[in-house]
C-alpha cells in the first residue's frame, strides 16, 4: 500500500485535480491518502483530509508520502525535490478560473523534464502519471544530501529566472 498526499496549496482549492485523484483512488483503493484541499476546499466524500494543516503536519505528510499530487506551485515542487519523492503536478489554468494567470503552466513545462516529476495536462494523463510515479525509481543511486541541495538550488534558480 502506498501513501499519496494531495496538496492544493494554501491560497485556493483545486477541485479539478482533487477530483481526478479521488476518482483514481476509488478505482485503486489499496492506497492510503490525505487531501489538503486549500481554503474553502471540500475533502472528497470517503477520504481523509483538511482545508489547511499546520506547517509541522504538512511536513509529516510530505515526508511520509510515496507520491505527492499537487498544483504546480514552487513550494511543493521544491519540497518534493528535496525529499526525493515522486511528484504528479497539474498546473492551475486561468482560462478555467483557477488562477489569475498561467504562470503555473510555464512552471510545469519547465520542471516536467526533471526526473521524478510527472506533468498531468489532461484528465486522460492522470492515470498514466500516477502509475509512472508509483513505479518510479531513480536510475542512479540516492543523491547525497549535499548533491540534492545543489540540484534543488539549481532548479530553483533556473525557474526563478524563467518566471
pLDDT of residue 66: 97
CATH number for the domain spanning 94: value is 3.40.50.2000
Q: How far apart are CA 2 and CA 134, in angstroms?
A: 8
**Distance from the Cα of residue 1 to its chain's centroid:** 19
Q: Which of 92, 64, 56, 95 is nearest to 80 (CA)?
A: 64
Number of domains present in the structure of the chain: 1
pLDDT of residue 162: 62
pLDDT of residue 122: 85
pLDDT of residue 157: 76
pLDDT averages per 10-residue partition of the chain, 163 residues = 95 94 96 97 97 98 97 92 95 73 78 93 91 85 64 74 64
* Beta-bridge partners for 3: 32
pTM, full prediction? 0.83
pLDDT of residue 108: 80
Instruction: Tell me which residue range forms the domain holding 61.
Output: 3-162
Instruction: Give start and end residues of each alpha helix (H) in 3-121.
Output: 15-27, 55-64, 74-83, 103-111
Amino acid at each position: 500500500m502506498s501513501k499519496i498526499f494531495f496538496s492544493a496549496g494554501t491560497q485556493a482549492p483545486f477541485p479539478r485535480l482533487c477530483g481526478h485523484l479521488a476518482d483514481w483512488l476509488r478505482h485503486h483503493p489499496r492506497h492510503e491518502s490525505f487531501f489538503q484541499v486549500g481554503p474553502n476546499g471540500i475533502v472528497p466524500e470517503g477520504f481523509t483530509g483538511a482545508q489547511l494543516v499546520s506547517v509541522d503536519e504538512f511536513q509529516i505528510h510530505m515526508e511520509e508520502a510515496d507520491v505527492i499530487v499537487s498544483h504546480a506551485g514552487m513550494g511543493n515542487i521544491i519540497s518534493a525535490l528535496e525529499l526525493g519523492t515522486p511528484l504528479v503536478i497539474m498546473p492551475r489554468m486561468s482560462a478555467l478560473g483557477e488562477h489569475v494567470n498561467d504562470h503555473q503552466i510555464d512552471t510545469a513545462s519547465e520542471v516536467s523534464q526533471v526526473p521524478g516529476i510527472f506533468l498531468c495536462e489532461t484528465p486522460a494523463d492522470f492515470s498514466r502519471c500516477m502509475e509512472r510515479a508509483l513505479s518510479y525509481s531513480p536510475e542512479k543511486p540516492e543523491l547525497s544530501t549535499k548533491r540534492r541541495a545543489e540540484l534543488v538550488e539549481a532548479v530553483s534558480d533556473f525557474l526563478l529566472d524563467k518566471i
